[in-house]
Structure 1
Amino acid sequence: MAPRVLISDKLSDAAVQIFKDRGIDVDFRPELGKDKDALLAVIGEYDGLAIRSATKVTDKILEAATNLKVVGRAGIGTDNVDKDAASKKGVIVMNTPFGNMITTAEHAIAMMFAVARQIPEASASTHAGKWEKSKFMGVELTAKTLGVIGAGNIGGIVCDRARGLKMKVVAFDPFLSEEKAAKMGVEKVELDELLKRADFITLHVPLTDTTRNILSAENLAKTKKGVRIINCARGGLVDEAALAELLKSGHVAGAAFDVFAEEPATENVLFGLPNVVCTPHLGAATSEAQENVALQVAEQMSNYLLDGAVENALNMPSMTAEEAKVMGPWVKLSGHLGSFIGQLTDEPIKAINILYDGVVAEMNLAALNCAVVAGIMKKSNPDVNMVSAPVVAKERGIQISTTNQDKSGAFEGYVKVTVVTEKRERSIAGTVFSDGKPRFIQIKGINIDAEVGEDMLYTTNEDVPGIIGTLGGLLGKNGVNIANFTLGRAKTGGEAIALLYVDGPLQANVLQELTATGLFRQVKPLHFDIA
């Protein structure tokens, strides 16, 4: 059955067609974005929800979205999506951070020109029939110092454009390396140094606990007299009231804001002040950008729903379509390893340790970690998936650690999962063979080679004669067909294990009969989702 996607905000016809061309059943109902009750009534029918900014994806909407797997936001900001609730529900939240990068960067540059030459006020004056040529004395950008707070995707484009304008660029970004700064042709500085030196300051960071009010009253007071400040990133990065006072005093010569602490901004302390340029959040408002993000979100959602590719996700490690093809078998293996160990573990888990060896160590380990944790958590919470599992593990205080190493054994690569509880450690390892099928290769340090089946039986016992006969005879007597039978032992006469792939679920009476023989320390039925 084809996945179903609801588009509840305005997207282009070309974006709608992408869903259709990929074989997805799509409903284009942009009127639902502003009608939460109507959206609530139908959301349970859909696997995907494509939105812009009008639709509010609340915890109530998510609770009713019983089939929802992904929310795709055509644009960068996802303030209208309850990401915590989505994560707990196992719903991926994607955005499209690259579709409007150039547009937003260009708007910041345009705003910088506008405030440097007082263009809006000069235009209004001229339209009014005045000719106040001497009133609007501006400044050149050439040779001025531009301070860029946040030199990531958009900030990096602004840096490049500013260098083309022959400006000197200094950048504050904790994630910017000296090597990258050198390649960009900018000088990496601390924030205080930027505030002291910059003639213009432009912000290009997300709104987080760290960046909120980054230009506080205290930091604004450190700026160079005559500075001009541009914010086309997020409202809340600048103390608007403090900035207004510095504009009135003349310490700040001008400001250009596209975003505000409260939006829609029908009133603001900056409105009406001289040489303050304001626009209504137009950073991404070009026809090219709107089309780009719409097409991008359609492609991303289709790739996930059809191929399992996770791109630009905000609550799960991303995995491109190309990675998904290569990693698919390893993701399945990781889930099976987690499921095996989760089904055997009854006591509370303190820690999960995951070892990646060989070729798998070079893959997207964050995504594989999610698969392992999801497999472990499914025993106690069948609805958990790769999105919600890390959230559940964190809530339970489970520590997750990862180790990767070069090829160290007979296999090109393998994954080993160890779970730590108050009573014991339990481990299992597996690999993927050339046929793409996952195999269990080690349990409790005992080497085996077992194909993964939908229904399996795991037993432990002392290494004594008669185990194979007992298992085969008893299962045969009860009409249980064995598809695959794997044995392993630590040493002669020591601990031994058996892992059987059987053709169907094992009935309680069969397990009771096996236990009653007294030969087995543990008799455990296992079930794996091999679809």
Structure 2
Amino acid sequence: MAAQTKPRVLVSDKLSETAVQIFRDRGIEVDFEPNLGKDKDRLLEVIGQYDGLAIRSNTKVTEKIIAAATNLKVIGRAGIGVDNVDIPEASKKGIIVMNTPFGNSITTAEHAIAMMFAVARQIPEANASTHAGKWEKSKFMGVELYNKTLGVIGAGNIGGIVCDRAVGLKMKVVAYDPFLSEERATQLGVTKVELDELLARADFITLHVPMTDKTRNILSRENIAKTKKGVRIINCARGGLVDEDALAEALTSGHVAGAALDVFAVEPATESPLFNMPNVVCTPHLGASTTEAQENVALQVAEQMSDYLLTGAVTNALNMPSVTAEEAAVMGPWIKLAGHLGNFAGQMTEEPVRAINVLYDGAPSRMNLKALDCAVIAGILKSANPDVNLVSAPIVAKERGIKLSTTTQEKAGAFDGYIKITVVTDKRERSLAGTVFSDGKPRFIQIKGINIDAEIGEHMLYTTNEDVPGIIGLLGATMGKNGVNIANFTLGRSGVGQDAIALLYLDQALDQKVVETLEGTGMFQQVRPLKFEVA
């Protein structure tokens, strides 16, 4: 019997020698070429020899590289960002893409705290002045952090660490996060508030949310105007969360007393309206730049890749649930359905989710429920945090105090099987169900207890209304006037003259002006554009 070939890994960016040694100690052949990632032609030439590729940010794993990677099974990114990896192409080739989403958390949180101290005491300017031979003691009058109110926008992994550190500094902490439960807030020692209250109360504001359509310019000109005069703003999360022009104007007027930014809307940031302004501290995206963080993510990615190549265990995968190859062939369409159901509910839910109840009927009840659960949770959380994936979803849900319960039953209806989810908040319960047809395509079959049969598309529109004549014509005419083509139109109602819903599958995204037009008719209770990943 021939000896089994050892897996072979290429490290094409600068990982620590300790991380490289992990591969060797686990019995994996490893080639450590830390500058190869910058040479795309050479990488293209050799990538076909390897089972695994360990990278940081310098290696660009493009469609062309993936096409040449004939033996590649896993790509491991030491860090959280995977913009340099073509994940859809990797998925098509069956290549798992892993990252290390929690390795930088403490480092990034500490940088935010350091930036808060720096702007509170004007340390960078005082340092420059003193180095210049001046002694301007009276010029740099700072403020204490003690007993001040810190507003934390986003109390997830990093934001939660910031809350903990701020409480230790004896600050009063208020947090805005739609997914923060009262139990988790109590555990952190913070007060959960709405965004407007946070803006009005906070002496310091720090941001710790991902960049989404909902969070883009969350500190807009309008919201900055709602802040307390003399507020100081810190952003070590993502560029684009703060309107930089509006912030510069507020600093000039004196409404904002200071700001500290580690991230910018355009990076590398070679110019900005905030540069060279008094009491504005700027650093070049250093949130994850500590020796410990870089070492941690390197060691973590080496362990994860080794586990997968040697045992098949999947950790922190961005494009695959933790299922076996045999299960994946059968479960694929059901995992997609579970994600679509969760994503639908997530896009419809703006208040904190307390619980998720899932019913598996028939065929899916006999599958790997853990993977299906992960898909449901990830779908729900993705609208608020696009970094959530099938592996990290349960961790994020646990952090936010979301309770998950599942029930299984034998086939009980007209379908071979279906999945029904119920999302519970303080204000309401929202239920919807779906199935997979024999063609392998997921479908929505029930919303709010109303039976439907809806194909799922990338761009959709969901409306609710009282069952009255004219709704179909109104929706069709409005779409037509605005050049929006309807691929599929599904209706349902609970009874004559009672609650009714419409679900439109559209060929393009819907402009906000079309939504506002429909809302302005007074005919609808809800008008909600939806987006699904259907590839």
Equivalent residue for 2:210?
206
The residue identity in structure 2 corresponding to 1:165 is L
CA-to-aligned-CA distance 1:340-374 (integer Å, 9 cap, x gap): x9xxxxxxxxxx9864548x7763435799xxxxx
Equivalent residue for 1:172?
176
Find the aligned partners of 2:183 and 2:374 in 1 and give their Cα distance. Answer: 29
DSSP-derived class of the 2:212 partner: coil
Find the aligned partners of 1:183 and 1:259 in 2 and give their Cα distance. Answer: 29
Match of 2:407 among 397, 405, 427: 405
Equivalent residue for 1:38?
42
Equivalent residue for 1:75?
79
1:126 pairs with 2:130: yes
Find the aligned partners of 1:423 and 1:364 in 2 and give their Cα distance. Answer: 18
Equivalent residue for 1:308?
312
Equivalent residue for 1:156?
160
Q: For the Cα contact (< 8 Å) 2:9–2:31, is it kept in 1?
A: yes
What pairs up with 1:385-424 in 2 under 5 angstroms?
Answer: 405=407, 420-421=437-438
Equivalent residue for 2:372?
365
Q: For the Cα contact (< 8 Å) 2:11–2:31, is it kept in 1?
A: yes
CA-to-aligned-CA distance 1:132-169 (integer Å, 9 cap, x gap): 11100111111111111111111101000000011111
Equivalent residue for 2:26?
22
**Quick one: structure 1 residues 353 and 91, their matched pair in 2 at CA, closer, same or farther if it must change by over 3 Å?**
farther
DSSP-derived class of the 1:262 partner: coil
Match of 1:287 among 281, 291, 300: 291
1:278 pairs with 2:282: yes
**Quick one: structure 1 residues 85 and 136, their matched pair in 2 at CA, closer, same or farther if it must change by over 3 Å?**
same
Equivalent residue for 1:472?
none
What pairs up with 1:57-72 in 2 under 5 angstroms?
Answer: 57-72=61-76
What is the TM-score normalised by the length of structure 2?
A: 0.63
Match of 1:101 among 105, 127, 131: 105
Match of 1:334 among 316, 327, 337: 327
* Structure 1 residue 119: Cα displacement: 0.4
* Structure 1 residue 179: Cα displacement: 1.2
* Structure 1 residue 332: Cα displacement: 5.7
Equivalent residue for 1:429?
none
**Quick one: structure 1 residues 69 and 219, their matched pair in 2 at CA, closer, same or farther if it must change by over 3 Å?**
farther
Please list every run of 5 or more consecutive structure 2 residues that lacks an aligned counterpart in the other structure. Answer: 335-359, 377-389, 391-404, 412-416, 420-434, 443-535
Find the aligned partners of 1:212 and 1:101 in 2 and give their Cα distance. Answer: 21
Q: For the Cα contact (< 8 Å) 2:152–2:159, is it kept in 1?
A: yes
What is the TM-score normalised by the length of structure 1?
A: 0.63
Please list every run of 5 or more consecutive structure 1 residues that lacks an aligned counterpart in the other structure. Answer: 320-327, 342-351, 370-386, 388-402, 410-414, 426-531
DSSP-derived class of the 1:2 partner: coil
**Quick one: structure 1 residues 45 and 120, their matched pair in 2 at CA, closer, same or farther if it must change by over 3 Å?**
same
The residue identity in structure 1 corresponding to 2:437 is V
Q: For the Cα contact (< 8 Å) 2:362–2:410, is it kept in 1?
A: no
The residue identity in structure 2 corresponding to 1:175 is F
The residue identity in structure 2 corresponding to 1:315 is N
Q: For the Cα contact (< 8 Å) 1:316–1:367, is it kept in 2?
A: no
The residue identity in structure 2 corresponding to 1:228 is R
* Structure 1 residue 210: Cα displacement: 2.5
Find the aligned partners of 1:7 and 1:186 in 2 and give their Cα distance. Answer: 43
Match of 2:231 among 227, 232, 249: 227
**Quick one: structure 1 residues 139 and 332, their matched pair in 2 at CA, closer, same or farther if it must change by over 3 Å?**
same
Equivalent residue for 1:266?
270
Match of 2:187 among 176, 183, 191: 183
1:7 pairs with 2:22: no
Find the aligned partners of 1:368 and 1:182 in 2 and give their Cα distance. Answer: 28
Equivalent residue for 1:527?
none
> Higher mean Cα deviation, 142-151 or 49-58?
49-58
Equivalent residue for 2:117?
113
1:217 pairs with 2:221: yes
Q: For the Cα contact (< 8 Å) 2:151–2:204, is it kept in 1?
A: yes
CA-to-aligned-CA distance 1:170-203 (integer Å, 9 cap, x gap): 1111111111111111111121221121111111
* Structure 1 residue 128: Cα displacement: 0.8
Q: For the Cα contact (< 8 Å) 2:11–2:54, is it kept in 1?
A: yes
Find the aligned partners of 2:440 and 2:66 in 1 and give their Cα distance. Answer: 38
* Structure 1 residue 316: Cα displacement: 2.5
Find the aligned partners of 2:83 and 2:54 in 1 and give their Cα distance. Answer: 15
**Quick one: structure 1 residues 83 and 368, their matched pair in 2 at CA, closer, same or farther if it must change by over 3 Å?**
closer
* Structure 1 residue 419: Cα displacement: 5.4
* Structure 1 residue 407: Cα displacement: 7.9
What pairs up with 1:225-264 in 2 under 5 angstroms?
Answer: 225-264=229-268
**Quick one: structure 1 residues 57 and 102, their matched pair in 2 at CA, closer, same or farther if it must change by over 3 Å?**
same
Q: For the Cα contact (< 8 Å) 2:152–2:205, is it kept in 1?
A: yes
Find the aligned partners of 2:202 and 2:9 in 1 and give their Cα distance. Answer: 48
The residue identity in structure 1 corresponding to 2:13 is D
Flag the structure with larger Rg: 1
**Quick one: structure 1 residues 22 and 242, their matched pair in 2 at CA, closer, same or farther if it must change by over 3 Å?**
same
* Structure 1 residue 406: Cα displacement: 5.1
Find the aligned partners of 2:206 and 2:66 in 1 and give their Cα distance. Answer: 37
* Structure 1 residue 421: Cα displacement: 3.7
* Structure 1 residue 90: Cα displacement: 2.7
Find the aligned partners of 1:298 and 1:38 in 2 and give their Cα distance. Answer: 23
Q: How many residues align?
A: 366
CA-to-aligned-CA distance 1:205-255 (integer Å, 9 cap, x gap): 122233222222222222211111111111121111211111111111111
**Quick one: structure 1 residues 132 and 61, their matched pair in 2 at CA, closer, same or farther if it must change by over 3 Å?**
same
**Quick one: structure 1 residues 131 and 419, their matched pair in 2 at CA, closer, same or farther if it must change by over 3 Å?**
closer
**Aligned residues: CA RMSD:** 3.1
Equivalent residue for 1:459?
none
Find the aligned partners of 2:142 and 2:133 in 1 and give their Cα distance. Answer: 21
DSSP-derived class of the 1:30 partner: coil
DSSP-derived class of the 1:224 partner: coil
**Quick one: structure 1 residues 354 and 54, their matched pair in 2 at CA, closer, same or farther if it must change by over 3 Å?**
farther
* Structure 1 residue 335: Cα displacement: 4.6
* Structure 1 residue 272: Cα displacement: 0.4
Q: For the Cα contact (< 8 Å) 1:108–1:230, is it kept in 2?
A: yes
Q: For the Cα contact (< 8 Å) 2:361–2:410, is it kept in 1?
A: no
